[in-house]
Structure 1
């Protein structure tokens, strides 16, 4: 597992780096050695935030974030969230009997690191399917259309790039765009 730690609006001390590496290093039993784990630590108005993104070569991206007044409890909480997500994913993959090279399961059965976490089964059945016609428009027009509809996201065909894109409302304010990668 390759842990990449960066700081935003704060200087990372060696103690912070060591704590993050030690805590997330306990997940190496479940993540293959060539998987990138990106960690961003930031401080804003006295609150410390840690964001962790695990991007395996096969399988879904696993992400967790936590904000606290003190950084070290935030590290503990984000670690707990990642454990829960990895356990959910492990359970789903074992049920489907699929092989996944980025997430390792051989030591999970006998390991007690996740024994204290209870997981509720998630309903993944698709309840509704909707087809839409995507219209060419600018990003600003898409944001306006999304607001007019009262939705949190809106799919459209970008006039400038001629590709399908999705505009969405961010939790912390503002808007974001998701575009297809070449």
Structure 2
């Protein structure tokens, strides 16, 4: 696994570097071996003295991302590992389910596996349809705030592409542009 570890408002010491690499490398056994895997880790000390860690692991057709905030940097690293392992399990369950459905494979599962699958099932509970009005991103943000949502889908008036604006946890806004 190739690591890219950065620090903001913190010096990334060799002890921190070794700890992060040791912990995140444990995920390597769950990932596809024939592809290069890169792990981007961002460590930050916030003004309130909490530690925030963001980890993004990139493989072909799979991107895992998690973030965690804690008073203790090492605890945040441990907690983020749990989140990433859950994402990997969820992805593997989904892939296995698709494979079983395609092949017509039928097997008996233990109670634990059945409970995990029920927990990991994705269910659409509501469908909405609406017309996409051409507008710029600033108008889309205003529309999003008016309806009280955390995101808003719109057609960009200049590029005619479908885009999404969203409200970030820090209170600012983000824009997702379609390629």
Is the TM value for this pair above 0.5?
yes
TM-score between the two structures when normalised by the length of structure 2: 0.81
RMSD of Structure 2 on Structure 1 (CA): 2.0
Does 124-133 or 38-47 show the bigger shift?
Answer: 124-133
* Residue 29 (str. 1) matches residue 29 (str. 2): yes
* Residue 91 (str. 1) matches residue 89 (str. 2): no
Q: 1:155 matched to which residue of 2?
A: 153
Alpha-carbon distance in 2 for matches of 1:162, 1:146: 19
Aligned length: 162
Q: 1:5 matched to which residue of 2?
A: 5
Alpha-carbon distance in 2 for matches of 1:124, 1:48: 32
Which ranges in structure 1 are unaligned for 5 or more consecutive residues? 99-114
TM-score between the two structures when normalised by the length of structure 1: 0.80
- Equivalent positions of 1:72-83 (< 5 A) are 72-83=74-85
- Equivalent positions of 1:29-48 (< 5 A) are 29-33=29-33, 34-45=36-47, 46-48=49-51
Q: 1:110 matched to which residue of 2?
A: none
The structure that is helix-richer by fraction is 2
Does 16-25 or 164-173 show the bigger shift?
Answer: 164-173
Quote how far apart the aligned CAs of 1:71 are: 0.6
Secondary structure of the residue aligned to 1:91 is helix
Secondary structure of the residue aligned to 1:134 is coil
Q: Which has the higher contact order (CA 8 A, sep 6+)?
A: 1
Q: 1:111 matched to which residue of 2?
A: none
* Residue 20 (str. 1) matches residue 17 (str. 2): no
Alpha-carbon distance in 1 for matches of 2:159, 2:45: 36
- What do the CA deviations read for 1:27-72 (whole angstroms, capped 9, x no partner)? 111113412221111111211111111222023x221111111111
Secondary structure of the residue aligned to 1:121 is helix
